């Protein structure tokens, strides 16, 4: 859940939150402000490189977070004011055994205090201000213990790791 998205100012950062979420194992992104361009960009990446990644913009974050919790989901809010990532991750992983759905919230500008109160975990990736993109990447990497990078996205294009240059396999059209 991306809160506080300002379409003109944040378009690249919010797109990167979506790209990192997708590449690092999340199943979708919700963005509070309507933004068709970001929806199109993220759908195009999934069309090319595969995977199922849902993109919803114009989401009312407060009712959505309340609904998420009513349905048994857990919420982790990333904030420099939170508890240390390494201290809190064991509790998040323990909680994930009971509720498979974890919502990760990142802000843009100042995050309303309801978010701190509604979150089950307020998580700091270091207690210094930096970036939602970096915080999300670090959080998901710890959450999935690096296994997200072995996922087969089954895309129209698959990148083959190579020492130099670019190797891309294109799926044959049926
Ligand atoms: N000044 C804003 C506030 O007080 O909420 C934060 C703005 S910051 C550029 C945007 C987002 O990056 C934050 O809402 C948070 O999700 C994330 N972020 C930045 N530094 C972080 C940190 N050290 N740990 C976790 N998340 C962080």
Q: Model confidence over 13-68: pLDDT tens digits?
A: 999 999 999 999 999 999 999 999 999 999 999 999 999 999 999 999 999 999 99
For residue 130, how far is its CA from the centre of ligand 1 (angstroms)? 6
Task: Indicate if ligand 1 lies below 6 Å from the C-beta of 106.
Answer: yes
Q: How many domains does the chain have?
A: 1
Whole-model pTM: value is 0.95
132 lines ligand 1 (CB under 6 A): yes
pLDDT of residue 70: 94
Ligand 1 pocket, 10 CB below 6 A?
Answer: no
pLDDT at 61: 97
CATH, residue 127: 3.40.1280.10
The range of the structural domain enclosing residue 42 comes to: 2-170
CB 75 within 8 A of CB 114: no
What would the pLDDT profile of 81-134 be if each residue is shown by its tens digit? 999 999 999 999 999 888 879 999 999 989 999 999 999 999 999 999 999 999
Rounded to an integer, what distance in angstroms lies between the CA atom of residue 25 and that of residue 5? 22
């Amino acid at each position: 859940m991306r809160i506080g998205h300002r379409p003109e100012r944040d378009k690249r950062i919010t797109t990167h939150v979506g790209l990192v979420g997708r590449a690092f194992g999340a199943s979708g992104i919700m963005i509070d402000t309507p933004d068709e361009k970001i929806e199109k960009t993220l759908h195009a990446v999934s069309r090319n490189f595969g995977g199922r990644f849902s993109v919803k913009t114009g989401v009312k974050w407060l009712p959505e977070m309340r609904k998420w919790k009513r349905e048994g989901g857990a919420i982790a809010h990333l904030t420099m004011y939170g508890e240390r990532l390494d201290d809190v991750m064991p509790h998040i992983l323990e909680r994930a055994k009971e509720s498979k759905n974890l919502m990760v919230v990142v802000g843009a500008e100042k995050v309303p205090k309801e978010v701190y109160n509604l979150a089950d975990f307020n998580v700091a990736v270091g207690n210094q201000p930096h970036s939602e993109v970096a915080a999300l990447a670090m959080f998901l990497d710890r959450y999935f213990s690096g296994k997200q990078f072995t996922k087969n996205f089954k895309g129209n294009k698959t990148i083959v790791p190579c020492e130099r240059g670019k190797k891309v396999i294109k799926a044959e059209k049926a």
